[in-house]
Structure 1
Amino acid sequence: MKQSDLFSSSTNFRSAFEAGLFTMLGNEGLGTFILACANATFDHDIYRVMEGDLRALFTAKMGFYQQMLEKGYQITDSDEDLLVFLKMAAIGFEALDITEDRSIDGWNVQFNHLRAFRPRRLTAEATTGIRAEYDKNCFNFNKPFLQSEKLWEGDLMGREISLFYNKYPFAELHTLLVPERNRGLPQFLTEVDHRYSWQVVESLADSIPGVGIGYNAYGALASINHLHLQMFIRETPMPVASSQWQHNGGGRAYPARCERFDDADVAWQRIEEFHQQEIPYNLLYLPGRLYCFPRLSQGTHPVPAWSSGLTWCEMSGGMLTFNRDDFERLDSNTIEQALAETSLK
C-alpha cells in the first residue's frame, strides 16, 4: 500500500491495520498468531470479527505443539513466542480477557490481560547512562522472524520507515515506527529524530485526528535498544493534555515533573540538556506540542506492584494493569504517588 493511501484518513489506516491482522492468520508462524490475538483482544470490534478464526487456530496450534513436545522434536519458533503461547495454553483461549478501560479522577486505567504475558526484555534490567550501542545479537527489529509482523514499509516524509504492529498493544491502532531499520540505530534520540517525530504528528493531524507518538529513552523503560517511535491514534486525549494542569494553563500541579513545549527548537534544546546531564526521559508528541517527562533511571527506584514500570503512557496518565484485582482497586492517590516516585525531582 502506498503512503498516500495508508495515511490519507483514519478510516484507511484502520482498514489497512485490520486487513493486515487477517492476513497474519494465514501465516504459519506462532509470532504472527500471538500478535493477531493480542491486537484483537485489545479491540472489541476486531475481536468480534476474528474470534472464531483465532479460537480455531489456537486449538490447532495446541495440538501441534503438544505432539511436538511429546515426541521430543525441536520447535523452530522463537523461545519468546513459545513461552508466551505456553502461558496462553495454561489458561486456555476462553480465559483470555478483552482489554478494559476505566476513568478515575481524570486518569485512565487499563486492564490488559495478554500484555501481562510478554517478556520484559530490557525493561527488567538496571541500565547505566542514557545510551548504549546497538547490538545485532540482542532483540531488534532486523530479526528475520519479525519481518512478518510489519504493517507497512516505505518512504514517510523523506525517511525510509518500517511500520510494525505493536505485538502487545496498549493504545489504539498501536504501531512501532522504525526509521531506517537496517542502519541499526540505537534508542537514542537525535535532533533529526526529534524534528521528524514533531513533523509526522503535525503533518498527519488533519487526515488522522488523534495521532500521536510516544517515546521511551534508553533507561526510561525502552524495551528494545533499536530506534523506534510508538505511534497511536487515540479518540480521546491522554490525561496529561487536560486543561486542568498547570503546564496547560490550569491551576493544578501535575504529580510528575512535566514540561510542555510548543516549539520544536526550544524542545530540542531541553532534550539536549537531558542528554548532557544523562537524564532519562519519556516523551509524548502531539500535533504542535511535546510533553517531556524527565525521570529516574529504571532499576533505581521501586516499581509499583501493580505495574511493570512507568513508560511514556503511564507518565502521560494512562495506567496499565495486568490483573483484574489491580484494575478494580487502583485509585488516584496510588497513581499520583507512583508518578511522583518515578519523576525526577
Structure 2
Amino acid sequence: MYKLNKLTSDSLTSFTSLLKTKWNEIHNETDIFRYKIDDLKERIIDGKYFLQLNPDRRSKRRTPEEMTSICQPFDENKFNFNKVSSKEILFSLEGKDGDIHTVLVNVSPISRYHSLLCPSVNKCLPQVVTPDSLKLVLQIMFQIEDGGVRIGFNSICGFASVNHLHYHLFVEEKTLQIENVTWQHFKGEMYTLDENSTVPAFCFKIQKDSCNQTLQQVWKVLEYFLKKSIAHNILFTKRGLGERDDVVYLIVWPRRNTSGVKQLSAFNVAVLELSGWFPIYDEEDFNNVEAKDLEAELTKWKRDDFKTICEDIKSI
C-alpha cells in the first residue's frame, strides 16, 4: 500500500514510473489482458483528430453493463472492481478514514498503459462523480510531471461501462485536439466552448495554490448536472491555456444521454472521442473515415440547451 504523498519522493517510485513498470510486467509476463497492445496503427486526420486501430477491443472486451439512470445505485450482484483478480491490481493508495484507492490495469485496453483508478473502491460507490474523488484525481495530476498523462471520467448515460466509481488513466504523448482549442472566458477560472462548437464544453483552470476554491466551482456545476440528469464526460489534462506545472485543466462536456447497453460500433463518443482521440475497431473505417464523419458523429451528442445550461450555471 502506497501513500500518495510519498510517490514523488523518489523518482524510482513516482506515480507514472510505477504505473508503467507494473503495467508492462503484467502485460508482458501474464495472460491477464484479453489481448496484447503492440504497435497499434495510428492516423492523424486534418492535423487534429488522432485515430488508433484496435479491433480486438470490440471482439474481446467484457460486455458493458446496461444502465438507464445517471444516478443508478450500485448493484453488488453485477460486475464491479472488487471482483477482479488480484493480478489486475497495479498498486493501491492509502486514503483517509480507511479508504483504499486502487489502480487496476484495464484488461481490455484502448492503448498502452490504459488503466483504471478506482477511488474508495472498498465503499462500493456507483459511477457518480464525488468531491472526494475529484480531489484525489487532482492530487495525482499535480504530482505527475509527465504531460502525456490524462485522466478521464464517463458518467452513467455518458458511455460508462461499469457502475462502480472509476476514472480512466491514459498515457499519450500526442497533443489532443481539445488541448489546442481557443476557450472563451466565462467567469472566475471557468471557460467555455460555446454552442457554435462541435460539442460545447466547460474548462476549469485549476491552480495548485487555489485548488480548493476552484474545485468548489467545479462541484457546483457537476452537482447541477446530476440534479438535472445531464450526462457528462470529464478530462483532466496539464496541456492547454498556457501549460504550467502548477495548473491542471478540467474539461467537462454536458452531452445527450445514452441508455441501455453500450454498443461498440465504429466509435462511441465518450471522453476520448470528445477530446479528439478516436479508438477505431474496424480497419475499413480506420482507413476511410474523414474529419466530417467524425464531426457528424460528435454532433449527434451535442445538447440543444447549452445556452440554458450556461444561464443556469451563471446563477449558481
Quote how far apart the aligned CAs of 1:250 are: 9.7
1:276 counterpart (227, 239, 242): 227
State the structure with bigger RCO (CA 8 A, min sep 6), 1 or 2: 2
Q: Which residue of 2 aligns with 1:218?
A: 156
| Larger relative strand fraction | 2
Aligned to 1:154: 93
Give the TM-score of the pair, scaled to structure 2: 0.77
Q: Which residue of 2 aligns with 1:178?
A: 118
Compute the TM-score of the two structures, normalised by the length of structure 1: 0.71
Matches within 5 A, 1:201-280: 201-204=141-144, 206=145, 208-243=146-181, 254-262=197-205, 263-280=214-231
1:107 corresponding residue in structure 2: 49
Change (3 A) 1:121 1:11: closer
2:77 corresponds to 1:133: no
Q: CA deviation at 1:10?
A: 4.1
- Which residue identity does 1:155 align to in structure 2? E
Between 155-164 and 182-191, report the one with greater CA deviation.
155-164
In structure 2, which of residues 251, 261, 267 is the aligned counterpart of residue 291 of structure 1? Answer: 251
Instruction: Note the C-alpha offset of 1:161.
Output: 1.5
Kindly indicate whether the alpha-carbon contact (under 8 Å) linking 1:214 and 1:285 is maintained by their aligned counterparts in 2.
yes
Structure 1 residue 237: Cα displacement = 2.4
Gaps of 5+ in 1: 26-31, 45-98
Q: Are the structure 2 counterparts of residues 330 and 233 from structure 1 closer, same or farther at C-alpha, using a change threshold of 3 Å?
A: same
Cα distance change of structure 1 residues 7 and 314 upon mapping to structure 2, 3 Å threshold: farther
- After superposition, the Cα gap between the structure-2 partners of 1:244 and 1:109, relative to the gap in structure 1 and judged at 3 Å, is farther
Secondary structure of the residue aligned to 2:85 is: helix
Residues 192, 202 of structure 2: 8 Å contact kept: no
1:188-247 deviations in Å (ceiling 9; x for gaps): 11112222222221222x2x3322210011111110000111112221222111145668
Cα distance between partner residues in 1 of 2:193 and 2:266? 30
The whole-number CA distance in structure 2 between the counterparts of 1:213 and 1:229 is: 7
Q: Which residue of 2 aligns with 1:21?
A: 27
Distance 2:118 2:263 in 1: 28
How do 1:260-339 residues align onto structure 2 when only pairs under 5 Å count?
A: 260-262=203-205, 263-287=214-238, 288-299=248-259, 305-307=265-267, 309-339=268-298
Q: CA deviation at 1:157?
A: 8.8
Contact kept? 1:246, 1:254, Cα under 8 Å:
no
Cα RMSD for the two superposed structures: 2.9
Aligned length: 272
State whether residues 246 and 253 of structure 1, in contact with CA within 8 Å, keep that contact through their aligned partners in structure 2: no
Distance 1:330 1:131 in 2: 35
Query: Is the contact between residue 108 and residue 318 of structure 1 (CA under 8 Å) also seen in structure 2?
Result: yes
Inter-CA distance 318–245: structure 2 relative to 1 (3 Å threshold): farther
- Residue 109 of structure 1 aligns with an amino acid whose one-letter code is L
1:116 lines up with 2:55 in the alignment? no
Give secondary structure in 1 for the equivalent of 2:203. strand
Residues 213 and 284, structure 1, Cα contact 8 Å, conserved in 2? yes
Q: Which amino acid aligns with 1:113?
A: P
